[in-house]
A and B are shown apart, each in its own frame.
Chain A
Amino acid sequence: NAGVMQNPRHLVRRRGQEARLRCSPMKGHSHVYWYRQLPEEGLKFMVYLQKENIIDESGMPKERFSAEFPKEGPSILRIQQVVRGDSAAYFCASSPQRGEAHNEQFFGPGTRLTVL
């Protein structure tokens, strides 16, 4: 059973470009979470999605960032007009049930975004 997959693993963008990060949850998981990890910091929650629904996006910056989890295909985290401060590691996690806080979240290997 494949784990959570993220691609690309490394992404380099110039200021003003768009970054698209993809996450395929584990088989059978319908809940996806995105986190951002800045250097020397812990993970910061960004958004929680179910298929075709954004459940909580309280951690998402108000501008330039968006996320989706379509009925078919991976979850996408999109960052428009990237700035140097967006450079970070972005992790996706998935879980099989909603609201079951004791359920482990399974993490992908992350996408390391570098903005030049």
Chain B
Amino acid sequence: AQSVTQLGSHVSVSEGALVLLRCNYSSSVPPYLFWYVQYPNQGLQLLLKYTTGATLVKGINGFEAEFKKSETSFHLTKPSAHMSDAAEYFCAVSDTGGFKTIFGAGTRLFVKA
């Protein structure tokens, strides 16, 4: 069975500082991995996804994530946080043959001025 673990339900950074949101997954088959962002009272928006190929994936708003098979990780990073990045971030996994996407519990990012 697939699963996703997001370390840290809340992360707080200063504006301009590095953002690092951690995600570890479990999958018995090569996974497809996603990061979504959710702003208050809105649905989820895709930030980036890993399917195959290059392990460093670039997404929208300056975010990127690196797929590390040996560590079963897919951490999300951004070099310099902006106030508008304050939101909840969800890591998700689905398998290559299916359609069901499993979401992590989410990490709420706070950005301090």
Contact = CB atoms under 8 A, between A and B. Distances in A.
Interface residues of A, number: 28
B44 A107 contact: yes
11 contacts: A4-B43, A31-B99, A35-B103, A40-B105, A42-B103, A98-B99, A104-B34, A107-B43, A108-B43, A109-B41, A109-B43
A65 interface: no
Most buried by B among A48, A55, A91, A105: A105
B90 interface: yes
B100 A45 contact: yes
B96 A101 contact: yes
Nearest to B50: A102
Interface residues of B, number: 26
Most buried by B among A35, A42, A93, A110: A42
Interface string A73-116: 00000000000000000010101001111101101111010000
Contacts of B32: 101-102
A91 B43 contact: yes
A104 B100 contact: no
